[in-house]
Structure 1
Amino acid sequence: MTKEPLLDHETSSPQPSFPSHLTKYLYSGHFLARWGARMWDFSVALYMINIWPDSLLLAAIYGVVENASTALFGPIIGKWVDRLSYVKVLRLWLVTQNFSFIVAGGTVLGLLAYPDLKSTSVEAFVLLVLVTNVSGAVGVLSTLAGAILIEREWVVVMSEGQDPTLLTRMNSVIRRIDLICKLFAPVVSGFIISFGSLKASAMTLAVLSTISVWLEYWFFMSVYQGIPALAERNRQRTRKPFPAELTESLSVPDDYHPANAEKSQKRSLGEKIANLPLVSAWRVYFEQEVVLPGIALALLYFTVLR
């Protein structure tokens, strides 16, 4: 009785049914998207500090606006991604993210070019700061939509019916790309600021966003068109079923009475608040088993380690 070496089983992993270059396209598009977001996240704090050197107020306000927009509108973005088709989500994600970086880069460039604006024209200064914060909030929300689309949807669909290790391998590569961008994008931004200027850095971000959006779209659309499973899942998602609420409203119960119908139509304020996306998302979160470790991790972000 002959025994096959275990090394052959470990090294010979089945290849996916789709071409391998599509996976590289997915990684490349994800890298470009995350690189631009990480460069902007690091640079904006330096911009705000330089615009108002005597205070950290502008940088703090920008951070609050970004995180508050994620907390408030994150559940809405998740539902929006689930309802729209893959192509619509992809286009809106790339356009809004890169356009917001372009607009924010232009407003920051104006604030840096006119450092005395806050004393000569307070209205213009406040307007530029407001546009910068709104653009940052739109950028972080669009980045969240892209993360949901790629990491929670496309990777899962691409790994269905494949080798079980494919999903783990793709998730690890995507996570590694994100960590690499988080580590090296600030270094590149620091080199640009050190050997150039803050204005050159803001202009570089705007130009990079203008160029990269076309490459990102081409990479992701190549993946979508090259993998039939994505198109099939997209058809299943966009298929509109008959709403359950409408079905219930059309069926008249046996004990129907106008008074009962009037009572059923009146909903209390508490029920309306409980059905809001933000509140319902927090209710689902607190029902999970990992709620306590999640709260502990959130408290850690309140410390100086952040």
Structure 2
Amino acid sequence: MEGDAAIEGGQLAPLLGSRWGGSGSPVPDASLLRRLYAGHALARWGARMWEFLVGLYMIRIWPGSLLFTAIYGVVESSSVAVFGPMVGTLVDKLTYLQVLGLWLLVQSLSFVIAGASVTALLVYDDLKATSFPVFMALVFLTNVSGALAALSTLAGTILIEREWVVVISCGHPPAVLTGINSVVRRIDLSCKLLAPVFSGLVFSFVSAQASAAALALWNVASVGLEYWLFVSVYNGVPALAAENGRRRAADVVLLPSPEEIAAPPPAERAADWRTRLSIIPCWESWVVYARQDVALPGVALAFLYFTVLSFGTLMTATLDWKGIPAYVISLARGFSAVVGIGATLLYPAVHSWVSTLRTGLWSIWMQVLILLF
């Protein structure tokens, strides 16, 4: 009853101050939640800056054509599709702190390298004519860095939004998880609103080189603070350490014995086509996904999103190619983020009113109707 009253009053800290599933162990207070939100905001800010700017950079690097923009989009999307399952497996195998350090290091280093490469390409704009191999090497480095940044961002999303948030809300009413998820999503959309506006203003009224340098400097300056914020949350939430210990114990149990490692597999198993396909790193992950109850609804939702226009890399570059200033594009993108922020404010109320299933069904059908009419 006290938890319900706290939810109705919008007071999240007292809810999280109750017991963890009756264990009696200390739980994070409001200050730890604020650190979690602050670290998430810092990490998402850099990612949203790059997401908006990369299309503008590519159209500047190769003027008059969307070729480089399209190539970058293919490289980034293909990397996530192919190596995303491997990232998820890696998150499961490593400890929370190992994933945290690897995520922040790779993401920050990738954005710094990408920002430096783009800065060099923009400053030496005649490099394509004077030294084409160097020009292509820098473009290649930019694409690879962007792909690595996308993969590391995926690892961070899994760690914070799929692991930590669930563990923190464990033992509490579902409304607690809903509330934390809404705040985390609201932070991401706020960064989607504000980071492009800031980047677009720098890009339009200072220079493209200055925006690339600002991106690199931001990641250098913020990575240490991000790590400290997340580590303080980890140290302040005993449930995270306990869950981390259970994960490590499960890994030890699943390790094969030396006899199993030395024994050759049966010949008939080697001939099985499923065994051969399991060599592919992402195959097992797709098999696991296909067995889930949400597999077909997920595919249906993906097909629905094929019809949605979004301010992605290619659309941003196309609008810039047509002569629309970068700050105008950023403001339009910000407006779309405002609508998304409104959804995060509306969802908890609708969820508590009509349940999760009806909320999802109503949302999808409303989206279909809006797209049709």
Q: Which residue of 1 aligns with 2:212?
A: 202
Shift of 1:283: 2.7
- For residue 309 of structure 2, give the secondary structure of its aligned residue in structure 1: coil
CA–CA distance in structure 1, aligned partners of residues 73 and 201 of structure 2: 23
CA–CA distance in structure 2, aligned partners of residues 165 and 79 of structure 1:
29
Q: Contact 1:16–1:163 (CA<8 Å) still a contact in 2?
A: no
Over 3 Å counting, the alpha-carbon distance change for 1:268 and 1:118 in structure 2 is: farther
**1:35 counterpart SS class:** helix
Distance apart, 1:68 and its partner CA: 0.4
| Cα separation, partners in 2 of 1:91 and 1:61, compared to 1, 3 Å | same
Length, aligned pairs only: 294
Matched residue SS, 2:159: helix
Judge which range, 134-143 or 262-271, deviates more: 262-271
When the two structures are superposed, what TM-score results if normalisation uses the length of structure 1? 0.87
Task: Give the conservation status (yes or no) of the 8 Å contact 2:269–2:275.
Answer: no
Letter matched to residue 237 of structure 2? I
Measured in 1, the distance between the counterparts of 2:205 and 2:88 equals 41
Is it true that 1:243 corresponds to 2:254 in the alignment?
A: yes
CA gap 1:166/1:83 in 2 versus in 1, 3 angstroms? same
Q: Provide closer, same or farther for how the CA distance between residues 267 and 192 of structure 1 changes in structure 2, counting only shifts above 3 A.
A: same
Distance 2:199 2:85 in 1: 32
Q: 2:15 matched to which residue of 1?
A: 15
Q: Secondary structure, in 3 states, of the residue corresponding to 1:54? A: coil
Cα displacement (A) at 1:242: 3.5
Aligned partner letter, 1:57 = L
Could you tell me which of 180, 187, 192 is aligned with 1:170? 180
In 1, Cα distance between equivalents of 2:243 and 2:232: 16
- Local SS of the residue matching 2:172: coil
Is 1:132 the counterpart of 2:142? The answer is yes
Shift of 1:234: 1.3
RMSD: 2.6
Q: How many angstroms does 1:246 deviate by?
A: 3.5
Q: Note if 1:58 corresponds to 2:56.
A: no
Unaligned stretches of 5+ in structure 2?
Answer: 18-27, 311-373
Counterpart residue identity of residue 15, structure 2 = Q
Name the residue aligned to 1:305: 309
Partners of 1:284 and 1:270 in 2: CA distance: 13
Which deviates more from structure 2 when the two are superposed, residues 175-184 or residues 281-290? 281-290
Q: Distance in 1 between matches of 2:72 and 2:7?
A: 52
Structure 2 CA distance for partners of 1:72 and 1:162, relative to 1, 3 Å: same
Which stretch of the first structure deviates more once superposed, 270-279 or 168-177? Answer: 270-279
- In the alignment, is the contact (CA less than 8 A) between 2:62 and 2:68 conserved in 1? yes
Once the two structures are TM-superposed, the CA of residue 302 in structure 1 deviates from its matched residue by 4.2
Q: 1:116 to 1:243 in 2, by over 3 A?
A: same
Structure with the greater alpha carbon radius of gyration = 1
2:22 aligned partner: none
**Residue 190 of structure 1: how far off its partner (Å):** 0.6
> Counterpart of 1:129 in structure 2: which amino acid?
V
- Partner SS for 1:162: coil
* Percent identity over paired residues: 53
Query: Following TM superposition, by how much is the alpha carbon of 1:265 offset from its aligned partner in structure 2, in angstroms?
Result: 6.4
- CA distance in 2 between counterparts of 1:8 and 1:29 reads 25
Cα distance in 2 for residues equivalent to 1:27 and 1:236: 25
Contact 1:109–1:202 under 8 Å retained in 2: yes
Task: State the TM-score, normalizing by the size of structure 2.
Answer: 0.73
Find out whether 1:284 has 2:284 as its counterpart: no
Q: Which moved more, 1:235-244 or 1:58-67?
A: 235-244
Structure 1 match to 2:331: none
Range that drifts further, 280-289 or 49-58: 280-289
Decide which of 155, 159, 162 is 2:169's aligned counterpart: 159
Rounded Cα–Cα distance in structure 1 between residues aligned with 2:7 and 2:102:
44
Question: Counterparts of 1:1-306 in structure 2 under 5 Å?
Answer: 10-11=8-9, 14-17=14-17, 18-239=28-249, 240-243=251-254, 245-246=256-257, 249=260, 263-264=267-268, 266-268=270-272, 270-274=274-278, 276-303=280-307, 305-306=309-310
1:255 maps to none
Cα deviation per residue 1:164-222 (whole Å; 9 max; x = unaligned)? Answer: 42211101100111111122221111111111100000000000000110110111011
Q: Distance in 2 between matches of 1:304 and 1:11?
A: 36
Q: Deviations over 1:263-291 (max 9, x none)?
A: 25634455221453422222333334444
